[in-house]
Structure 1
Amino acid sequence: MTKSVFQDPDAGQALYWSPSGEALSSEDGEMTYALDKGVIRLLPKKEGEGLSSFDYQDHYQKDAEAFDYFASWEDPAAVHENERLHQMILAQAPKQVKRVLDVGCGSAWVAAHFANQGVEVYSMDISTVNPEKAVGRYPFEGHYGVVADVFHLPFQESTFDLIVASEIIEHVADPALFLEKLLPALAPGGVMVVTTPHAEKLAYSLCIHCNQPTPHHAHLHSFTATSIRELLPVPLRAGARTSTFMNKVLLHARTHVLLKHFPFSLWRLVDRVANVIIPKTARLMLVVRR
């Protein structure tokens, strides 16, 4: 039997594709998860660590239903910012990538990048909506939609050459546990890339339904290079790398009109120089190599 990629999110038993490719089952056949609309649902059946005081699975299901992550951006400045963010992440990828995990897949831009390159891409989200749309929009061989929870990660250890968790960690209740759960799935020589707003000033509004302070954009945490590195297990901190980028002055000055024509290397140089002159950065990146 070939090496398993998946595991049961509760028991941790290896799961294998059926001969028809329409279900995942444990070797003894006691646990089976059927493929539905091109997506495999591997959410835990029991509560456990990492759960916050509210039902975040229900929240992000409703979020994905209310907000179309696949819709085109209307603001050209936002389009440019997003493209540069993606380029920064992809620049960290190892030379040889065979299998990628996109955590909180959103618009599935990771799948779009690796489509038809012979790379397996696992577009994972806690909602059912985004993985379904991901495999529907990018139906290439080796693209899998997975509904799952990082705190009950349904993947075997040493599985992925690249793990991307872009703009996710600020949303989770326990960021340190979030990283702790992802790291074992990283293969030897693999890279995990985490991005988040840099030193964000969290803002709150009073919710009209629960009458409690509610964070804007569901951002629960703000990070600096030091604080995000300290979330890692001690043995990994020294080898981890952090960087800040995306100068706010350049963003607010609408310089995308000119900078969108620059190749990535030249844009990165301009951004670095701007950050030396006026150190106001919008994004923080953590890179962990195993």
Structure 2
Amino acid sequence: MNINEIINILSCPVSNAELLFDEENNQLLSLDKNFSYKLKDGIPIIVSEIIDSRHKLNYIEHYRLDGELFDYFEKREKASLEAELRLREYILSLIPKRSELILDLGSGSAWLAKQLGESKKVISLDLSFHNIKKALIEFPYKNHFGVVGDGYHLPFADKTFDCIVCSETIEHLEMPELLIEQAIKKVKKNGTIIISTPYKEKIKQYLCIHCNRLTPQNAHLHSFDEAKLQSLIKQEVKSVKYFTFGNKFHTFLRFYILLRYFSFPLWKIVDSAFSLFINKKINLICKIEK
């Protein structure tokens, strides 16, 4: 990855000033020279260590460790994999064909870069350096770039992206409305934001053996439906659309064994038919047009 190919769209997450590449010291400097950010193995780490006082959790350290301790690239069990693949197909179907520059916000396994290949310019952003480094190794496309960054303070110039995809991330955030606000700022006029999250999830709580406090399953802090997600969109946008899908009885009845052979359009029809009888959907997608 060549930092010079994306330097023109990077900005300081604190001051929002342009960033300049100081090749001699292998760092990025804000235009006002007040902030600097290191590159590691050619990957820019543009994260402010100053955590907003509104945050009760040290989320930066948590997700750094999370990326090191858990393998986001490992293969899933068949049922989970089928549901995951259908979710990804749905997201891909909503990305406008005209989109050229796409941000994968909270990229994890970088599945979006893998799926889009050389067809689009994709920037994978994650708090975990480990995840970003592995993503660039696994999917070394010339149009794939990686940035270690914070979704609450996106290190990009305003009105930069044609499309921003945030898949299965906001349920983990203490203040998801701040991420949505950032995404709206960073997407171009007439651009698209696609957010996916579990639908009406019943979050189980467990007692942590280390701290004796309740902790949510899968680190999910929120459960969303259309109304709750809508309440987080404070900025003026052109339109907001919601899509619910993924009937949970596919898995319960092991119907996924057959459905995996269906094309995506045919799968959507069958999935909708299931929901006419048993309305138990597991996925919610919000598509915002700015």
TM-score (norm 2): 0.92
CA shift at 1:27, angstroms?
3.9
The answer to whether the 8 A contact 2:106-2:151 is kept is no
Residue 71 of structure 1: aligned partner: 74
Identify the match of residue 109 of structure 2 among 100, 107, 110.
107
Residues 1:221 and 1:127: Cα distance change in structure 2 (over 3 Å): same
Alpha-carbon displacement from aligned partner over 1:191-218 (angstroms, at most 9, x marks no partner): 1111111001111111111111111111
SS in 2 for 1:84: helix
Residues 1:234 and 1:182: Cα distance change in structure 2 (over 3 Å): closer
Residue 193 of structure 2: aligned partner: 192
Residue 251 of structure 1: aligned partner: 251
Amino acid at match of 2:268: R
Amino acid at match of 2:133: E
Amino acid at match of 1:62: L
Residue 97 of structure 1: aligned partner: 99
Identify the match of residue 33 of structure 1 among 34, 37, 59.
37
The 5 Å alignment of 1:224-239 reads 224-233=225-234, 235-236=236-237, 239=239
Residue 86 of structure 1: aligned partner: 88
Alpha-carbon displacement from aligned partner over 1:213-271 (angstroms, at most 9, x marks no partner): 111111000011111112112633x7201111000111221112111111110001111
Percentage identity across paired residues of the two chains: 35
SS in 2 for 1:250: helix
Residue 289 of structure 1: aligned partner: 289
Residue 59 of structure 1: aligned partner: 62
In structure 1, stretches of 5+ residues that fail to align are: none
Residue 3 of structure 2: aligned partner: none
The answer to whether the 8 A contact 1:229-1:242 is kept is no
Q: Distance in 2 between matches of 1:256 and 1:181?
A: 37
SS in 2 for 1:288: strand
Q: Distance in 1 between matches of 2:131 and 2:197?
A: 20
Correspondence 1:43 to 2:47: yes
The answer to whether the 8 A contact 2:103-2:163 is kept is yes
Residue 135 of structure 2: aligned partner: 134
Q: Distance in 1 between matches of 2:236 and 2:29?
A: 35
Q: Distance in 2 between matches of 1:19 and 1:115?
A: 29
Amino acid at match of 2:117: A
In structure 2, stretches of 5+ residues that fail to align are: 1-5
The 5 Å alignment of 1:145-156 reads 145-156=146-157
Deviates more, 1:211-220 or 1:53-62: 53-62
TM-score (norm 1): 0.92
SS in 2 for 1:150: coil
Q: Distance in 2 between matches of 1:255 and 1:133?
A: 34
Residue 14 of structure 1: aligned partner: 18
Q: Distance in 1 between matches of 2:234 and 2:157?
A: 20
Q: Distance in 2 between matches of 1:128 and 1:34?
A: 12
Q: Distance in 2 between matches of 1:67 and 1:7?
A: 30
Q: Distance in 2 between matches of 1:28 and 1:152?
A: 18
Alpha-carbon displacement from aligned partner over 1:132-188 (angstroms, at most 9, x marks no partner): 111111112232211111111111111111111111001100121221121111112
Residue 175 of structure 1: aligned partner: 176
